[in-house]
Structure 1
Amino acid sequence: MTKRPDKEEPIHCNILVKAPAVASQLLADSSGLPKERIKHAMLKGAVWLKRPGSKERRLRKAKFKLKTDDFIQLFYNADVLSQTPPEPTRIAENEEYSVWFKPPWLLSQGTRYGDHCSLLRLAQKSASDVDFKLIHRLDREASGLMVLAHNRNAAMLLSKLFQEDRIEKRYFAEVNGHPEIPEKGLFLNSEIDGKSASTEILRGYPGKTDGNTILDIRLHTGRLHQIRKHLADFGHPVIGDSKYGERQRGYYELHLCAWKIHFLSPFTQETVTYQAPLEMRPSFLKDTIATT
């Protein structure tokens, strides 16, 4: 039997530049990593630059010339950098924004350790002339629709709609059991991290198995893991959610999908509706709510 090699430990370097230097060479000297690995990490967004008087940003150019008093950081994790992202799909586009379907296991945005597995980065690579802006998030484990703004003004206007609950965000979540949902719907309003949070369950549908229910949910606020936390507190955690429930045998994906976005466009003053294409929806929805 071949012995499995020990897992490579992450490397984190903080460097205050004392004299002008080339970024990749300075990082290689400081970390002990080969320069090719440094270049690879830089391309995937694992290196950060803070220049006096400027905003911190990712640094991707290996030959970038650093100046005295620049502050550069490397967040190197071989496991993260070796990951291959699933591909998102752009389902609608206009001048001010685009709508994307994010598959499960794709990040909304990157982390300190890289952004190559994020929707925002993949969108940027698909159209280098567009300044994509992230205005809301979707859990890495979840799938569904996301809106990306194409410029700063569009981001400001769309963010305002999200903040004022003027964008209708609908989700399907499959849960174990059969929660009782009144005809008028049900609100879950417990605070999350000390902040108000409101999740509206509109109705329930039969799940793929007799013991499950698919809930049609409208999200009124956007707290971290809000739907998952509220449903777990309600006694019906989302299937496949090992963080707030119990991962059930046979379920390996989070059964949560952002299936619909509806709003009055601040750019055209027309009402727009986007739905996740049927063929892209996760397996827990197929053959159950195929016509919605």
Structure 2
Amino acid sequence: MAAKSVSIFRRSISAAGLFLVLLFFLLPIAYLGALSFKTRDEVLMGQFFTAHPTLDNWLKTFEFIDLTAFIWHSLLIAGASALLTLVITAPAVYAVAKLGRGGFVGQLTLASYVAPPVVSLLPLFFLMRITGLLNTVPGMIILYGVMNIPVAYWLLRGFVKQIPVELDEAAWTDGAGYIKTFVQINLPLLAPGLVATGLITLILAYNEFLFASVFAQDNAVRGLTVALSIFQGDRIVNFGQMAVASLAGMLPVFIIAYAFQGRLIEGMTAGSIR
């Protein structure tokens, strides 16, 4: 009987802990949802729930800005930059982890993340202006693709380490070169890690604001994060419409993460094993 009571107590504690974790992550989203149905006066009063919900914010947001275009720009740039990051990082990680080439790359990539991003703002501005990449979609793709290489490197390194080196040695014995071994042996086994790393770098690029606010001034390049700042005026902030834009911007990333959640969990679990 005592053992049963202890088991019930542990399950209750686990359920309470899970509830608190879910509350921690879902409460901001719930607040945004409530905020999107409030009038400006109710927002200023600080009420969590509204007594008179209205759809005005949802209607006016899509009339005020071309929100769909901004979200598409963010998805296009983030997706392409994540792909570029993987194309550059995966062979580099393989060369360092399996071939023992360029051992300093790991320390170098980590060192590049020590300084705050604002330090590189001015040099990047002049570099992109000279190369003609300023205020262009390819420029933002290259910028984010290179910027997220350190994150991708340290994420993929664990996955590459999990692939037995004996597979590579067997391929080399059969006459396969380094490129063929990487493409035909390692890449298929790296699929969960590539998906997990690609999703993380995509989200990082999708949520980035500092570089986007400086290097993407044209509406044809602007993404969601810059579009959200449009709702903030000199004296008035349209919190309701900003909440609508935030919820609409979260939806595509949520759908992508949900669609690949199996690969994401598999990849992150595999990468955590040493």
Shorter-normalised TM range: under 0.3
Q: TM-score normalized by structure 1?
A: 0.24
Higher helix share: 2
Q: TM-score normalized by structure 2?
A: 0.25
Q: Which has the higher contact order (CA 8 A, sep 6+)?
A: 2
Computing the radius of gyration from Cα coordinates, the structure with the larger value is 2
